[in-house]
C-alpha cells in the first residue's frame, strides 16, 4: 500500500495525492486509510520515506569526509534528478501549516535520517578523525540543511559541485591554509 | 502601506493576511493593491522584508568571524523571539506551491540578504582572513541555511548557542585540532 502511495506521490506531487486516489490504486478502503493516517499529509510523508529509503543508506568506509560526500551526493542526485525534490519541497512547505504532516515527516523521515548522520560523525570522532568537541547535530544542518536551503529557496543552484564544496569547507574550515588553527 | 501590511502579517501570520484586511488597515483600495502585487503572497513577502530590514543590517568590524556571529545571532533572535519566525516559515512553505510568492520572496528578501553576506565574506577573503578559494555563496547556506533548516524542520532547537557553533565549526573546520590542515 505504501509502495503504491509512494509511486503516486512521485508521479503527481501533492496536488494529485488524495485518500481517494490512494484507495483506488492500492485497493485499501478509504476507511482503512483514515484509520491509520490522520491526514493525507501524514500518509504522504510515510509513503515518501518508504520509497526513497533504499537510495539513502549511509556508507561506512572509515573515512568520514568520503562517507559524508558520498551520502550528500546521493541525496543531491535524488532531489535534483527525480521528482522526489519537488515532492519533498512540497511536504516541507505543507508541514509549516499542517501539524500532523510535520509530525509524520519528522518521525518517519527527518529524525531517523538525522540520527544516521549523527552516528557516523560521532563514530569518526571516536576514531579521532574529527575534533573531540564536534557538534554532530550541527554538522547535519551545515551539510544537509545547506542543501535543503537551496532546494526550498533556490537563489543558487543545488549541484553535486556544491555538495562537495560543503564537505570541503566544513571539514577543512574557512581559515587561510597557511595559518594553523588555534 | 507596506508598514501597515507588515504589522498585520507579524500580528496574525499568513492565515489572517488578505488583500481585504490590508486594504482596511492601510486605506489603499483593493484595486490599487492588486495593481501592484499579483498575489497576497507577493505582497506578504515584500511587507515582511520592509518590516525586518532594519534589524538585519550587516555589521563590518573587520573581523569576519565576529561579524558573521553577530549577524547570525540577530537573525536567530528575530525568528525565535518574535512572530517573524512563524511568518517566514509560512512564507517559505507557501512559496513551494505559489510561484509569485516565491519570486517576490527571492527578489525582495533572500537574494539581497544573501548578497550582503557574500560581500562580507569576499571582503574578508580580500583581507586575507579566509582562504582564497572560499565559496562565499556556500558559506551563506552553511550558516543561514543551517538555521532555516532548524526553523522549517524542527528536529533540533534553533538557539543562540547553535548559531555560535555554526560559525565556530565552519571557520575552524572539523578536523582534529592537533593536525595542521593540508
The predicted-structure confidence for B47-66, as pLDDT tens digits, reads as follows 998 888 877 778 889 899 99
pLDDT over 70 at A32, yes or no:
yes
CATH number of the structural domain spanning residue A112: 1.10.357.10
Of B121, B6, B138, the closest CA to residue B71 belongs to: B121
Cβ contact (<8 Å) for A154 and B93? no
In this complex, which of A89, A153, A165 lies closest to B138 when CB atoms are compared? A165
C-alpha cell at B41: 503572497
Domain contains B168: yes
Inter-chain CB proximity B152 and A111 less than 8 Å: no
Q: Identify whether B110 is part of a domain.
A: yes
Cβ of residue B110 closer than 8 Å to a chain A Cβ: yes
**Per-residue confidence (pLDDT) for residue B179, from 0 to 100:** 47
Tell me the average pLDDT across A134-148: 98
Contact A150 B145 (CB under 8 A): yes
Which residues in chain A have Cβ-Cβ distances shorter than 8 Å to B147? 141
Whole-number pLDDT of residue B14:
86
Residue A53 is predicted with a pLDDT of 80
Residues in chain B within 8 Å Cβ distance of A165? 135, 138
User: How high is the pLDDT of residue A139?
Assistant: 98
Whether residue A41 contacts residue A108, with contact meaning beta carbons closer than 8 Å, is answered with no
Task: Please list the rounded mean pLDDT of every run of 10 residues in chain B (182 residues).
Answer: 91 90 93 91 89 80 93 94 92 94 92 93 95 97 98 98 98 76 49
**Residue B83 in contact with partner chain A when CB distance is under 8 A:** no
Rounded to 5°, angle at Cα B148 from B142 and B149: 80
Q: How far away is chain B from the Cα of A163, in angstroms, using its nearest Cα?
A: 9
pLDDT of amino acid A179? 47
- Specify if B181 maps to a domain: no
Asked whether residue B179 is domain-assigned, the answer is no
| A57, A160, A167 from A71: Cα distances, Å | 8, 11, 11
The pLDDT value recorded for residue B177 is: 61
Q: Does B136 touch chain A (CB under 8 A)?
A: no
Test A153 with B97 for CB contact under 8 angstroms.
no
Residue A134 touches partner B, C-beta closer than 8 Å = yes
- In tens, the pLDDT along A69-120 reads 999 999 999 999 989 999 999 999 999 999 999 999 999 899 999 999 999 9
Q: Does residue B149 sit within a domain?
A: yes
E strands within chain B?
none
Mean pLDDT of the A42-50 span: 90
Q: In this predicted structure, what is the pLDDT of residue B178?
A: 52
Q: Is A135 on the interface with B (CB under 8 A)?
A: yes
Q: B55 lies in a domain? A: yes
How many contacts does A have with B, using Cβ atoms within 8 A?
A: 182
Query: Which residues on neighbouring strands pair with residue A176, listed in sequence order?
Result: none
In a domain, A70, yes or no: yes
* Nearest Cβ partner for B173 among A141, A150, A173: A173
What's the domain range around B39?
2-172
Say yes or no: B115 contacts chain A, CB-CB below 8 A: no
Q: How many residues does chain B have?
A: 182
* ipTM for the complex shown: 0.91
Contact residues, chain B, for A152 at CB < 8 Å: 92, 95-96, 148, 152
> Which of residues 14 through 33 in chain A touch B, CB cutoff 8 A?
14-15
* Nearest-neighbour CA in chain A from B166: distance (Å): 7
Distance spanning both ends of chain A, measured CA to CA: 55
Residue A130 in 3-state DSSP?
strand
A42 contacts chain B (CB < 8 A): no
Helices A64-81, A84-95: axis angle to 10 degrees equals 90
Residue with cell 503527481: A12
Task: Return the pLDDT at B53.
Answer: 80
**Is A24 within the bounds of a domain?**
no
- Does residue A155 surpass a pLDDT of 80? yes
Tell me if B141 and A150 make a contact (CB, 8 A cut-off): yes
Give chain A positions within 8 Å (CB) of B150. 141, 145
Q: What is the count of structural domains for chain B?
A: 1
Amino acid at each position: 500500500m505504501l509502495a503504491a502511495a509512494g509511486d503516486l506521490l512521485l508521479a503527481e506531487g501533492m496536488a494529485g495525492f488524495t485518500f481517494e486516489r490512494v484507495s483506488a490504486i492500492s485497493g485499501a478502503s478509504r476507511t482503512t486509510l483514515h484509520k491509520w493516517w490522520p491526514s493525507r499529509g501524514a500518509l504522504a510523508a510515510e509513503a515518501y520515506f518508504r520509497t526513497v529509503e533504499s537510495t539513502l543508506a549511509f556508507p561506512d568506509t572509515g573515512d568520514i569526509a568520503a562517507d559524508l560526500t558520498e551520502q550528500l551526493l546521493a541525496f543531491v542526485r535524488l532531489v535534483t534528478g527525480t521528482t522526489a525534490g519537488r515532492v519533498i519541497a512540497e511536504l516541507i512547505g505543507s508541514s509549516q501549516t499542517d501539524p500532523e504532516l510535520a509530525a509524520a515527516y519528522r518521525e518517519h523521515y527527518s529524525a531517523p535520517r538525522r540520527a544516521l548522520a549523527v552516528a557516523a560523525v560521532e563514530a569518526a570522532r571516536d576514531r579521532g578523525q574529527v575534533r573531540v568537541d564536534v557538534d554532530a547535530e550541527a554538522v547535519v544542518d551545515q551539510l544537509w540543511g545547506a542543501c535543503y536551503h537551496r532546494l526550498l529557496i533556490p537563489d543558487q543552484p543545488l549541484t553535486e559541485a556544491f555538495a562537495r564544496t560543503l564537505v570541503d569547507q566544513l571539514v577543512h574550515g574557512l581559515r587561510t591554509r597557511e595559518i594553523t588553527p588555534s
